[in-house]
Chain A
Amino acid sequence: MKYLRKLLIVTFVILTVVACGDDEDPDKEKPIIDISIEDAFPTNCDTIYFGETFELKLLFTDNEELGSFSIDIHNNFDHHSHSTEVTECNPGANKEPINPFAFIESFSIPDGLTIYETNQLITIPAGNNDGLYDDGDYHFFIRVTDKAGWSTYKGLSIKMFHKQTAQ
């Protein structure tokens, strides 16, 4: 019994010391992507035109400090890739890509911010060496992190057209 009591006391003391340490709780909140602000662009089912420049307008917020974000545009001609939004945007018929457009870029966010509204100008070329890019259904993927490493994704379904062919 003596052994037991000693052991219990020692264990209890250690646990108490550990449990009552000086730690403040680590950040457990994810950043938020807000596409409901005024003039937000793009939002789900928006159209982006080839050969033009658009202004990225999204609001990111975090409880402590934002990290960075990235944009990824890729084709969704087969309707098999991801979307995090509930609504579908009248997708066109499935088709084989010929010269699909792809865009990936990562952006930094100035240090110390808990609110950040994007204002980047993004220019979409009309084509490359292989000719004009394919019209049709694309995905617009937004990823945001905070300094603690939490991340939030948003996958939007968008249309991309050359202006002369747009209906």
Chain B
Amino acid sequence: MSKIVVLVACLHFVYTLTLAQTQHTLQGVVVNDREEPLPGASVVLLPVQKGTATDESGRFLFHHLQSGRYIIQISFLGYESLTDTIILKDDLTYHAKMNPLPLNLQEVVVTDHYAETRKKESTLNIEVVNDDYLKQYMGGSLMKSLERLPGISTIDIGSGQSKPVIRGLGFNRVVVVENNIKHEAQQWGADHGLEIDQYAIDNVEVIKGPASLMYGSDAIGGVIDMKSRKVPVNNTIGGTVDLTEKSNNDFLGTSVSLYGRKNWFFANFRATILDYADYKVPPDSVDIYSYRAALYKNNLRNTAGEEHDFHLTVGILQKHFQNRLHISSVNSKSGFFANAHGLEPRNVDTELHDRSSRDVNYPYQKVNHFKVTNTGQYTKERLKVETDLGFQHNFRQEWSQYVNHGYMPAIFPDTLNFDPDLEREFDKYIYSGNLKLTHTWNKEMSLTMGINSEYQDNRIGGRGFIIPAYNLFSIGGYAIAKRTISEKSILQFGLRYDYGHLTTGEYYDWFPSPVIANGDTTMQYLSRAAAIDRTFSNLSWSAGYNYNPGNWSFKANIGKSYRMPIPKELAANGVNYHHFSYEVGDPDLSPEISYQLDAGIEYTSNRLALGTSPFLNYFTNYIYLNPSSEHDRLYGNGNQVFYYTESEVFRYGAEIHAHYKLFKNLQAGIIGEYVYSEQLTGGKKGFTLPFSPPASAIFNIKYQKHQLKFAENVYGSIDYKITAAQNNIVPPEEPTDGYQVVDAALGGDIKPGKQILNLSIQVKNIFDTKYFNHTSYYRLINVPEPGRNVIINLSIPFSVSNNSLRRYGD
């Protein structure tokens, strides 16, 4: 190891000697109007696309610059951005004085060009959005707000819960990461959403494509990576009040954040309360199979819910060291559509359910997600060390009236230790630890090495058996080399090894079933799951290349990703009464392996931006719940048997996006996505994969103006979304017709007096169109998507001025 370091250091020395004469250094300092340094200001140099942030004393430095003309852009929140042209003939020192904006508000974004930089440097296709985007396109949940991004769709359960789907892959094939720790809940289940408070998110990166290399098992379809990157301005105390109202489900949301920073210490607190009523659909009845359920006032009975969340971040910023401790608790209770629990149609007590649209009766679910994570970062010269520690507790319950399905006793025995109405309970504890080292030898070569480890302890309860209790230990180590060949091209290669050890518990029914043997019938407690003890290992890799000549950007990446089979796939052996399915696992399944070739082409000029990101993907063994033609009496209680099986799968697709500036303030754009999947082997040869999103395109017109009378950063936008029919289906899905929906958005910063108010208004489904979403959980029982919805979000930032705090602090 040390030899390599010496070798590279020597090479670097030679390199420096040979090139030093022809290249220059640009250094500088960024100060405010009182000549006080501004640490953390973003400095970007164009057209070379170099970016940095100023250090503690407000200084920045760019090495190895050719002679020539450069544009320097400096930005710092609360100050007017500065753009200047510099001609570099020799080493230069630049003094940047920033003018403050009238009111010193909001928080600091570490670099403004983060998204562009990330996109240019990553060899995978990624989308980066910040909290402004989330506000402009806010939906019922974080994933709903991200759904507009090309290649992203969701699996929805009612109005407040959705799961991420990236290019048609979801559930355990998408990894969600918050502050470097993998978010772990019951991702396999179709009937609950992601336990993330969207108000608390300031930056989301979506990696489209397999990313096992960095994220380990499960990142086979993609990654949703959320990082808290904001740091308050020094010597400030402030906050934001967010008020949200949605007309369709009478949603009321309040989120209050408070932040403060004194030199090296900062803290951030947030509390969010959401409360929503049943959501409305355009028709006044839905046909569940041939059973017609009338809907009172178009309300989807019992889909109301509530959520309350708390977050606390405490951070330390030192010259070489940064540490952030995050504590959060996300708690929700939400009802399931009362006329169908899962796919099962039911008669309901309409008097009870229609008494109030805000109450939550049976059936409902309750989820608590508690999380403590600590991320530390130590930087010394060319070495960066990052450590992450995490603890999560996910507790989820499903409550519904006791129904004696199959051989369950008609009268619930009083000898059991659980409530008859508790249908399912999952109690999961997750401990995570990561270590990451990045060594940058010189501007050409850097190496990142890391270890991710995790331990999961999952307990089960309730009357229904769907997955066994289990313990899972997993650890993975990786190394990624990044070589910058020239200013314009970057080569990356990485290798990873993972190991996992899974033990599942055995399970016996709590009620006896009639076992018929040799003509005699005996009542026996059936064994549903035997204990399983398995180890998995895998080697994954990835290689990518970026080439960014001028206005163009090309990228290509090829990689192998993997996913360990989950306990449900290995050990399921019970009836899922939500789906009328008897699901049978296969304890011998091997880890799922996927190979993917990704490409990306982008063109950006002042007026026009366009890009496409095609991909080809091959699974050697996609693990899939295959509905068979069999029924089973004893274990399956007369239900159709679904077997977990493996099949070869080939997929391809692409996203496109383009926007063109028609006039100074008006731009037209298009976003499109398409995925095709086909099973090449197995019982469903020739079929697609479940939940395949149909092709879709959004045509957009957006008006933006920096200053319009008393308002700033004004925007108005219209989205016309066309979605094709999805006839490429697999049992038990239904074909879904195509549809067209129009959404509009309007917003900006208004300043009555000195106070800034950020207002964003959206009208979704303006024409109250009745349409079905192929990937909605309720699609199979013909529940259409929500009708017209007016969403209003008002953000009120406030701050305590610097002077009063200084006096207070000194």
Contact = CB atoms under 8 A, between A and B. Distances in A.
B616 A70 contact: no
B118 to A, nearest CB: 22
B810 interface: no
Contacts of B614: 11
A100 B410 contact: yes
Interface in B332-354: 344-348
Contacts of B477: none
Interface string A53-97: 000000000000001111110110001111111100000000011
B415 interface: no
B291 A148 contact: no
B292 interface: yes
A145 B345 contact: no
Contacts of A150: 627, 731-732
Given A80-B347, A81-B346, A143-B638, A104 B731 contact: no
Contacts of A3: 547, 554
Contacts of B406: 72, 104
Nearest to A14: B616
Contacts of B729: 28
Contact of A81 (B403, B630, B685): B403
A20 interface: no
Nearest to B734: A30
A149 B638 contact: no
Contacts of A69: 631
A143 B631 contact: yes
B401 to A, nearest CB: 6
B698 interface: no
Given A18-B652, A68-B631, A72-B637, A153 B731 contact: no
Given A106-B633, A153-B289, A145 B640 contact: yes
B289 A147 contact: no
Contact of A153 (B580, B654, B685): B580
Contacts of B410: 75, 97, 100, 102
A49 interface: no
Contact of A68 (B289, B405, B629, B735): B629
Given A14-B652, A25-B686, A102-B407, A149 B580 contact: no
A18 B345 contact: no
Interface in B646-686: 650, 652, 654, 676, 678, 683-686
A121 B410 CA distance: 26
Contact of B629 (A14, A67, A82): A67
B36 interface: no
B731 A83 contact: no
A23 B631 CA distance: 29
A9 interface: no
B638 A141 contact: yes
Nearest to B686: A26
B628 interface: yes
Contacts of B629: 67-68, 145-149
Given A81-B403, A104-B406, A106-B633, A71 B638 contact: yes
B717 to A, nearest CB: 30
Most buried by A among B344, B639, B683: B639
Given A86-B290, A102-B407, A149 B731 contact: yes
A151 B616 contact: no
B484 interface: no
B499 to A, nearest CB: 35
A105 interface: yes
Contacts of B684: 26, 148-149
A83 B292 contact: no
Q: Determine the interface band of chain B, counting residues with CB < 8 A from chain A.
A: 35 or more
Nearest to B597: A14
B633 A4 contact: no
A85 B637 CA distance: 22
Interface in A126-148: 141, 143, 145-148
B631 to A, nearest CB: 4
B727 interface: yes
B385 interface: no
B735 A15 contact: no
Interface in B294-345: 344-345
Contacts of B685: 26
Nearest to B521: A128
A7 interface: yes
Contacts of A100: 404, 410
Most buried by A among B288, B289, B552: B289
Nearest to B603: A4
A24 interface: yes
A68 B599 contact: no
B756 interface: no
Contact of A15 (B554, B638, B652): B652
Contact of B639 (A11, A14, A70, A149): A70
A141 B346 CA distance: 14
Most buried by B among A15, A97, A151: A151
B78 to A, nearest CB: 42
A28 B732 contact: no
B289 A84 contact: yes
B347 A70 contact: no
Shortest 5 CB-CB contacts between residues of A and residues of B: A67-B629, A149-B627, A106-B631, A70-B631, A97-B410
Given A26-B684, A80-B346, A86-B292, 18 more contacts: A4-B554, A4-B601, A7-B554, A14-B616, A28-B735, A69-B631, A70-B631, A100-B404, A100-B410, A105-B633, A106-B631, A107-B631, A143-B631, A145-B640, A149-B626, A149-B732, A155-B289, A155-B291
Interface of B: 288-292, 344-348, 401, 403-407, 410-411, 547, 552, 554, 580, 599, 601, 614, 616, 626-633, 636-640, 650, 652, 654, 676, 678, 683-687, 727, 729, 731-732, 735
27 contacts: A7-B599, A18-B652, A19-B676, A28-B729, A67-B629, A68-B631, A71-B638, A72-B406, A72-B637, A72-B638, A79-B347, A80-B403, A81-B347, A82-B345, A82-B346, A82-B347, A83-B347, A84-B345, A100-B410, A104-B633, A105-B633, A143-B580, A145-B631, A148-B731, A150-B627, A151-B731, A155-B291
Interface of A: 3-4, 7, 11, 14-15, 18-19, 23-26, 28, 67-72, 74-75, 79-86, 96-97, 100, 102, 104-107, 141, 143, 145-151, 153, 155
